[in-house]
Amino acid sequence: MLRHEFRPGKLVAGFFLTLAGITYAGDAGDAWDTPWFAVIPMVVGGLCLAGVVGLLTRAVRNRRDSRRTSTPPEVDRTPQPPVPH
């Protein structure tokens, strides 16, 4: 059993933020030259993609949960004692 729920939106956001960090680290280490504005679209695009993935995940989970609860609950049919008035 999983310890926590898998959240693919957070995975996508973490990937793009890690990629932005690697890009800046490569620029700081003189491995390549990165313009200052190059990381902004990468981060914003990654966060937007993470939001879309999060919304899709939520929609799929809500649909799956609604299918599970759509069956009527079982009714207890054992005789109950009369209630005094």
The pTM of the whole model exceeds 0.75: no
Cα separation, 42 vs 49, whole angstroms: 10
For residue 65, what pLDDT is reported? 79
Cα separation, 23 vs 2, whole angstroms: 33
pLDDT tens digit string along 34-60?
Answer: 998 999 999 999 999 999 999 999 999
Cα separation, 20 vs 49, whole angstroms: 15
Residue position matching structure tokens 């490569």: 26
CB atoms within 10 A of CB 9: 18
